[in-house]
A and B are shown apart, each in its own frame.
Chain A
Amino acid sequence: MAHLSKGIDITLLQELSGNSTEFVLEMLRMYLTQLPEAMSELEENLTDNNYKRISEIAHRIKPNFAYIGMPETTELMQKLERLGRDQAGDPEIKTIINNLGGVISNTLLEIHNVIENLH
């Protein structure tokens, strides 16, 4: 089992790719670019009070966390999606996005570590 770091688990990615290290590396590098982009998008739309777009972004990225062993973040995104759609302006939206920033920063560090270990 590939519990290579505390926070992330790439077992599912390995299983889905038939244990292709090449694919896992490709995906992890994709996470390194996509997660910061999604985070910036969320922050920008929070500034613009565009809650509909926040909901759409949360909807789009929520499954991705599950594939690196972060189901609790998937649930958090599910909540953000619902709040953005049904309760525009709810202060919890801002709290979730701020917390997500920290989670993503840690996740990126962990992904870097996993990539180094896989090489």
Chain B
Amino acid sequence: MGKAYITSIYIIEDDLIYGRILQKNIESNGNYDVTLFQTGIDYLSALNSTPDIVSIDCNLPDLSGLELLQKTLEFNDEIPCIMLSGQEDINMVVQCYRNGARDYIVKNTTAPQDLLASILKFTKIVTQKKELEDLKSQIINRVRYQTLLGESNSILSVIRLLQKVEKTEMMVLITGESGTGKEVVAKSIHVNSRRYKESYVTVNMAAIPVDLIESELFGHEKGAFTGADSRRIGKFEEANFGSIFLDEIGEMDLLLQTKLLRVLQEKTITRVGSNKEIKLNVRVIAATNKDLLKMVKEGKFREDLYYRLQGFLIHLPPLRDRGNDVLILANHFLKSFDLDNKVIAFHSISNAAIQKLLAHNWPGNVRELKNVVERSTIIADEVEIQDDDIIIH
């Protein structure tokens, strides 16, 4: 069964009684969301929400129907506009059609049914367009996501989410077990965003000593602390106009969480040792393998920061749930390793080795698989990797 689309109809009709009659008749006959406007000005101020079909009365008290028709089509020339007029004035009919109206209805007692019939006709076109747009959004552009290998439903779902978020400026939180590829996903979000020409800065929160992290993130002024012998810009400033990837965000201490929350809310930073606020335009992508909600309950992670980070959540599936992606990834790592090492004959994987790879549950996920495959090429005596060459700890 096809998806049911709601068609949004705007009716501009100054007479409330007549407008309500038209509205009710349409609403009673299909999946329509009908909004009634009594003035042209009210309608124009709501046009940004893009109706699917518009019905315009030719004689309005503030703006003429023709003006509204013109302004509607200037905004979006694909919106079908149906004109309603109290008189069968041939000049008006011609003018309406010349200016882009798709239908013209005379306001007599059959007008509500005539309008409904016209709307039904355009609804088919509108619905087909929506179906096409839906299909387009489901088509995965593998070229843009070539770093995300795999054909499993779980990874394809992730790519679909990435396609949705890539053109937005939303903060993204990537969760998933260690080794599932959170950094690869973060990079692909930046590369496919409008910011792709700007900096992409990665910060591993777990790898920076606690006493240096504030200066690392926000920078410092000369003399701000012992050893600060020159001014240094921090990672956030470095990422200005681009994206910053905060990996292992669950490792931040509570004090720094407070400072990060302020940065996210106010979009400004202050270098250590300075009072001057610096405005920022940075897209934040964060990742963690921790259960942040559990940490919130345990008092180890700020609740407000947790909700702030949840702008758009992408959960990466563990490799054990990705079926044959194990083989796609194993072959990719094998080929990359051979190319990097300029081998004469490329390695292949025997059936027995394949079975062994598929049988393992990969607690270390993609990272573990990469290590196992690369090690197997060194161990293997032949170009075909045997099950004995696959050493899993």
Contact mask A9-22 → B, CB, 8 Å, 1/0? Answer: 00011001110100
- CB of A34 within 8 A of CB of B59, answer no
A26 within 8 A of B: yes
B32–chain A nearest beta-carbon distance, Å: 13
> Across the interface, do B25 and A60 meet the contact criterion of CB distance under 8 Å?
no
B14 contacts the other chain (Cβ, under 8 Å)?
yes
What are 11 pairs between A and B in contact, CB < 8 Å?
A20-B24, A20-B28, A23-B24, A34-B17, A63-B107, A63-B109, A63-B111, A64-B17, A64-B18, A66-B108, A67-B21
Contact with A along B1-39 (1 / 0, CB 8 A): 000000000000011111011001100100000000000
Q: Are the C-beta atoms of B25 and A17 separated by less than 8 Å? A: yes
Q: Tell whether, in the assembled complex, residue B25 and residue A34 are in contact, meaning their CB atoms are under 8 Å apart.
A: no
Q: Closest chain B residue to A17 by CB distance?
A: B24
Asked whether B21 lies within 8 Å of A27 as measured between CB atoms, the reply is yes
For chain B, give the interface size range: 10 to 19
Question: Which of chain A's residues have a CB closer than 8 A to the CB of B111?
Answer: 63
Nearest 8 CB-CB pairings of A with B: A18-B28, A16-B25, A66-B109, A64-B17, A60-B15, A63-B107, A59-B86, A30-B17
Residues on A close to B: CB < 8 A?
12-13, 16-18, 20, 23, 26-27, 30-31, 34, 56, 59-64, 66-67, 71, 81
In the complex the two chains form, what is the Cα distance from A112 to B28 in whole Å?
26
- Once the chains are docked, how many angstroms separate the CA of A5 from the CA of B131? 49
The answer to whether A17 and B17 have CB atoms under 8 Å apart is no
| B16 adjacent to A30 (CB under 8 Å) | yes
For A23, list chain B residues within 8 Å (CB): 24
The yes or no answer to B61 lying at the interface (CB within 8 A) is yes
Q: How far is the CA of A61 from the CA of B107 in the complex (A)?
A: 11
Q: A20-B28, A27-B20 are in contact. Are A63 and B108 (CB under 8 A)?
A: yes
- Determine whether the beta carbon of A59 is less than 8 Å from that of B59: yes
Asked if B20 and A26 make an inter-chain contact with CB atoms under 8 angstroms apart, the answer reads yes
CA distance A20 to B20 in the complex (A): 13
The residue on B at minimum CB distance from A81 is B86
Residues of chain B with a CB closer than 8 A to A13's CB:
21
Residue B234, interface by CB 8 Å: no
* Shortest Cβ gap from B25 to chain A (Å): 5
Known A-B contacts A12-B109, A67-B109; A60 and B21 likewise in contact (beta carbons under 8 Å): no
Residues of chain A lying within 8 A (CB to CB) of residue B108: 63, 66
Which B-chain residue is minimally distant from A38 (CB atoms)? B15
5 A-B pairs besides A20-B24, A56-B61 with CB distance below 8 A are A17-B24, A59-B86, A60-B14, A60-B15, A60-B59
Q: Which residues of chain A come closer than 8 Å to B86, judged between CB atoms?
A: 59, 62-63, 81
Most chain A Cβ neighbours within 10 Å, of B16, B17, B112: B17
Q: Check A17–B28 contact: CB distance below 8 A.
A: yes
Contact across chains for A16 and B20 when beta carbons are under 8 A apart:
no
Residues in A neighbouring B28, C-beta threshold 8 A: 16-18, 20
Contacts of B15 in A (CB 8 A): 34, 60-61, 63-64
* Closest chain A CB from B203 CB (angstroms): 61
Q: List residues of B (79-107) whose CB comes within 8 Å of A's CBs.
A: 86, 107
